[in-house]
A and B are shown apart, each in its own frame.
Chain A
Amino acid sequence: MKKCYLGIDIGSISTKGVIIDYNNNILAKDYLETNGEPIQAVKKLIKSLKEQLPDDYVLKGIGTTGSARKLIGLMVDASIVKNEITAHAIGTLAIHPDVKTILEIGGQDSKIIILRNGIIVDYSMNTLCAAGTGAFLSSQAKRLSIPIEEFGNMALKSKTPVKIAARCTVFAESDLIHKAGLGYSKEDIIAGLCKSIVLNYLNNLGKGKKIEGPIVFQGGVSKNKGVVKYFKEVLKMPIIVDPNGHLMGAMGMAILAKQKETDKVYNLNFHDISFVTKGEECNRCSNHCEILRIYKDDELVDAWGSKCHRV
C-alpha cells in the first residue's frame, strides 16, 4: 500500500480538497461551494475525493485550514489544523519553490504574503472591509447581470477602463450606476472594476511591502483574467496564475499533514457520521457569550465561544 495525505480548505465561499502522494503529486482534487454549510460541503467533498482515489493508497494524515478549519478539523479528526497564511505559503512553495510574493484574493479575505528563501517574512490581511474581494466582485456582477465567469473576458475587451471607487461596495454601486447613466459601455465599467480592485488591494495590503518576483496570484479572483491583466499592468511584472491556484491552501495542509505523519491510519468514511452543532447564548454572566457545542455521534466533543472556557 502506498501512502497518501488529505488537505481540506474550507473557505467562506468554496470548499477545496486535495489528496497527494508522498511526492506531492495530486491524486484527487475537488472544488465546490460551501453554501454556508461547511459540514455538508466537506461530506460531499470527501465523497468525491474517495471516488477519485486509486484503491492501493492508505490515508496517513489529514490537515484542515480556512475559516471552518477548527470545526472540520474536529469532524475529520485532523492530524493538523493551521491558519490560511501558512497553508497557502507551504502549498505554493511546493509548486513554485522560488516564489517571493503571493497575492491571494478569496471570497471575503484578501492577503499578501511575502517570502524570501522559502520562508514567510511578512504578510497582511484585509481587516475591516471586504471591498475588493470575491464577494464584492460577485455582487457587482449580479448588479450588471453578467455571469461572474464571463467578467474577466469582458474586461479584456475594454480599451479605456472607467475609474470606480472600489474603496467601499456601497460607494462602488452608486459609482457604477452613475457611470452607466453617463453612457459608458459595460466592458469599460467592468474593466474599471477589475482595475480598481487591483489598486485597492495594492494600496491597502501592499502598502509598505516589497513586492518582488516571482509573483503568484491565487484565490478565486485569480480566475478573473481582467484582474490578472491589471495586476501585470500596475506592478509591471509577470504574474503567475496556476491552474491549481485555488487548491494551494488544501495542498499546503496535505503537505503539513505529511510532515506530521504518525502510525495512525485515517479513513474517508464520514458520510454516515452524525456531526451536529448546537448554539446557545449563555446567561450565567453579563458577557452573554454564544457557546457552540459540537456533537459527534451524539457525544459532546468540544465547545467554544465562551470567554470563561465553560462548556
Chain B
Amino acid sequence: MKIGIPRSLYFYYYGDLWLRFFDNLNIETKVTPPTNQEILDLGNKLAQDEMCLSMKIYLGHIAYLKDCDYILIPRIDNFGSNNQTCTNFLSTYDIASNIFPNKILNYNIDLEKKQSEYKGFLKLKKDLNKSKKEIKKAYLKAKEQVAITKKQKIKENIKKLNKDGLKILLVSHPYNSYDEMIGKPIIESLEKLNVQVIYSDLFDEEKARIESKKLSKELYFKYNKENIGSIMLSLKKIDGVIFLSSFPCGPDSLVNELVIRKLNLPTLNLIVDDLSSDSGIQTRIESFVDILEAKNE
C-alpha cells in the first residue's frame, strides 16, 4: 500500500506528523515534489475560477499522485467555536473524491462536534488495516517527536528576533510561505538583501491566539488569529511586516487590512496569483527594505 501526500496546504501544518505516523506503522508514502510549473498547470486545469492560488496548487499536487493507492486529504473544520479554518479548504475532500479515481484517506477534525485529531486518526485503522492499538501507539509516538522538532523550530525563529540587522516578520500561512512558487522567491530575495526573515507560523500557537485578542476579540479564523498574535508578540523587535497572501483570500484581505489600519507599523501587502510578475514583486520588496533601512539610519 502506498499513501500519496500532497506537498501543499495541510502538509505545512501536519506533514511532519503524517510522515512520522506512517513511518511508525511501516507504511510507504509518496510526497509530491515542491510545486513546479507542471503541478501548477495541472491544478489550473482542474480548478474553478474563484479558487485561490494555494488551492489551485493543492489540486495540482493531488493530480500528481495518480499512481498512489490512497491520497491523504483530511477535512479540518474547526478547533472549537471561534476557531474556524478555511471554508474553501474544507471542501477539498469532497472535490477530490468527486474528480479523482483514487481512494481518499480521510480524517476529520471538528471539535465543535467533538471530533478530535486523535479520534480522527483512530478511524484510519480500517483503511490502513491496522489495529486500534497499533494506530494509537504510532500516533502518540509521532506526536511526541513532532512536538520536539516544532519546539526547536520555534526557538530558532524567536532567536532571530534578537539578531542584529533588519528584521521583517513574514505574515502568511505556511502553505504560502514555504511553497516553492509563492513564498520561496520572496524569502530568497529578502535574504539576499541581508534581512532576517521571521515566520509568523513559528510562534507558540496558544500564546499567539491569546495575544491576538489585544487587536480584535471578534475574529474567528484560527490561522489569522495566530498570524495576528505573531505580530503582537514580536511588535517591539521587528522593523516591519510583509503580508503575503494568495488572491483572493477572504480572511487575509480582511485581517491584513485590520492590522494595517490599527497598528502603526511599516507594512508591505503582497497578494500573488499565478499571473503575478516577478519584477513587480521584486521592486516592491527592494523599496520596502530601502525604506526600513533609511528609517534605521
Q: Which residues of A contact B (CB under 8 A)?
A: 67, 82-86, 119-121, 123, 125, 127-128, 285-288, 307
Contact = CB atoms under 8 A, between A and B. Distances in A.
B295 interface: yes
B99 interface: no
A125 B284 CA distance: 8
Given A286-B36, A287-B37, A288-B37, A121 B279 contact: no
7 contacts: A83-B286, A83-B287, A84-B283, A85-B290, A86-B290, A120-B290, A286-B36
A87 to B, nearest CB: 9
B129 to A, nearest CB: 35
Interface majority SS (helix, strand, loop, mixed), chain B = helix
Interface residues of B, number: 20
Given A85-B287, A286-B37, 8 more contacts: A82-B286, A83-B283, A85-B290, A119-B291, A119-B294, A119-B295, A127-B271, A286-B38
A121 B291 contact: yes
A120 B36 contact: no
A67 B279 contact: yes
B283 A85 contact: yes
A82 B294 CA distance: 14
Could you say which of B37, B266, B275, B287 has the most chain A C-beta atoms within 10 Å of its C-beta? B287
A50 B291 CA distance: 33
A123 B289 CA distance: 12
Interface of B: 36-39, 180, 185, 266, 271, 275, 279-280, 282-284, 286-287, 290-291, 294-295
Contacts of A307: 180, 185
A239 B253 CA distance: 33
A97 to B, nearest CB: 15
B280 A125 contact: yes
Contact of B280 (A86, A119, A121, A127): A127
A127 B276 CA distance: 9
Contacts of A286: 36-39
A285 B291 CA distance: 37
Contacts of A285: 36
B37 A120 contact: no
B297 to A, nearest CB: 9
Could you say which of A67, A82, A83, A288 has the most chain B C-beta atoms within 10 Å of its C-beta? A83
Nearest to B270: A127
Q: Which 9 A-B pairs have the closest CB atoms?
A: A286-B38, A85-B287, A83-B286, A287-B37, A86-B290, A83-B283, A120-B291, A83-B287, A287-B36
B260 to A, nearest CB: 8
A103 to B, nearest CB: 16
A32 B269 CA distance: 34
A83 B283 CA distance: 6
